[in-house]
Structure 1
Amino acid sequence: MDLFNPSPYPLVAILRGLTPAEAPKVGQILFETGFRMLEVPLNRPGAIDAIHCLLRNAPDDALVGAGTVLSVQDVDAVKEAGGRLIVSPHCAPDVISHAAKHGMIALPGVATPTEAFQALAAGAHGLKLFPAEMIPPAAVKAIRSIMPVDTPLFPVGGIQPHNMAAYVAAGATGFGIGGSLYQPRIDETAMRRAAEAFMNARRNLLEEAA
């Protein structure tokens, strides 16, 4: 886990369907509003090229990579593009260990304690609790109680600024945010407004924890 030391309550922007043409402006908005973890899911055309484009203008402390990573070949493609973040919707030990072996940050998706411990055994740096609509705060609290204390937990799915606090109280340490933040061809003003709302919610969490 020592490879992965994000700032408190990191927010991962899930940019499904991001095109290389949109990537510079989308990246600029996200970086300007404070996002430092960005993933481009690989199950849409142009994802690897979009990762390239995001990396060109990424701050030094940004962690950019891919989501929906399903195979070791996907991991290799992201590594070749310069990405360092590997996010999967499921627990695939071969993908996790391959990413970790190459110094990349692996955040696999899990929904049960069995999957969670399998992922950690394979070298996961944190756990994506997915889909969060099926893993409410009460379930996160139960999962947190049996995990190693330093395990980062990222609920993903249905996360909104107003429900982040309940998840944090249950033991979540960060979040993945998809359609509530970005959709293809989204209006730039609307996206900036959404990004600022999530960052304001994060700021409130930081103030409450201080």
Structure 2
Amino acid sequence: MSSPFPPPPLPPLVAILRGLPPEQAAAVGSLLYAAGFRCLEVPLNRPGALQSLRRLRDSLPADALLGAGTVLEPADVARVAEAGGQLVIAPNLNLAVVAAARAAGLLAMPGVATPSEAFTALAAGATVLKAFPGEQVTPAALKAWRTVLPQAPIYPVGGVTLDNLAAYHAAGASGVGIGSALYNPELPVAQLASRAAGWVTAWTEIRRGLDCSPGHAEGVLQ
């Protein structure tokens, strides 16, 4: 049995690296890439964020999709592009930020908390919807959203855990954003590697249970 929802336009697991020190960016990025993560986000509301983003871009393969989070002003979009970012992520829906991202050729992932905001974001050119906060957009709420937004790429962020990941996926999540449940700057490397492997394994197992087609690729996040 395959998923009833189309594949998302970006990798399904987004690693949110809040507070990533620039001097650790290459090592952290390489560890997560080796674990199977292909989308990394560095929120701008911490010092050194753009430097960390640039170091990720300089050290990771071309298929790593890099984004900046907490992009609140249109002027930030140009700085994200200059640092090598390809994805503009926000906790809110600012139509000017979405427009600036699309004008710069970047993917736009604004935060939405209601179906009305979701429709407005899509009409403005959003590539992906960030359902935020996830504690509010529960699996039950997301399932209701899907009745009117069957094709939209939706990524719950905030409150997503390994315990509720399958419920979010079953409700129609195209992917998820993972913050403190994956990374914080004080986390030992071995623990980060263990957490990363756990998330990739969990998503792969969920997908494997839904996709029994001959072309299903094991070990590849879809």
Given that 1:162 and 1:201 are in contact with CA atoms closer than 8 Å, whether structure 2 keeps it comes out as no
Given that 1:40 and 1:66 are in contact with CA atoms closer than 8 Å, whether structure 2 keeps it comes out as yes
Given that 1:12 and 1:37 are in contact with CA atoms closer than 8 Å, whether structure 2 keeps it comes out as yes
Q: Deviations over 1:6-44 (max 9, x none)?
A: 35xx10000010110110111011000010111100000
Partner of 2:185: 184
Q: What is the rounded CA distance, in whole Å, between the counterparts of 1:156 and 1:83 in structure 2?
A: 19
Given that 1:111 and 1:130 are in contact with CA atoms closer than 8 Å, whether structure 2 keeps it comes out as yes
Matched to 1:69, the amino acid is V
Matched to 1:208, the amino acid is G
**Count of aligned pairs between the two proteins:** 204
Task: Tell me which protein shows more helix as a share of its residues.
Answer: 1
Q: Which runs of 5+ in 1 are unaligned?
A: none
Partner of 2:64: 62
SS at match of 1:158: coil
1:15 equivalent to 2:13? Answer no
Given that 2:15 and 2:182 are in contact with CA atoms closer than 8 Å, whether structure 1 keeps it comes out as yes
Partner of 1:193: 194
Matched to 2:209, the amino acid is E
Q: Which residues of 2 match residues 155-170 of structure 1 at below 5 A?
A: 155-170=156-171
Matched to 1:156, the amino acid is V
1:175 equivalent to 2:176? Answer yes
TM-score (norm 2): 0.89
Given that 1:132 and 1:156 are in contact with CA atoms closer than 8 Å, whether structure 2 keeps it comes out as yes
Q: What is the rounded CA distance, in whole Å, between the counterparts of 1:64 and 1:81 in structure 2?
A: 10
Q: What is the rounded CA distance, in whole Å, between the counterparts of 2:163 and 2:59 in structure 1?
A: 30
Partner of 1:39: 41
TM-score (norm 1): 0.94
Question: Displaced runs of 4+ in structure 1, greater than 6 A?
Answer: none
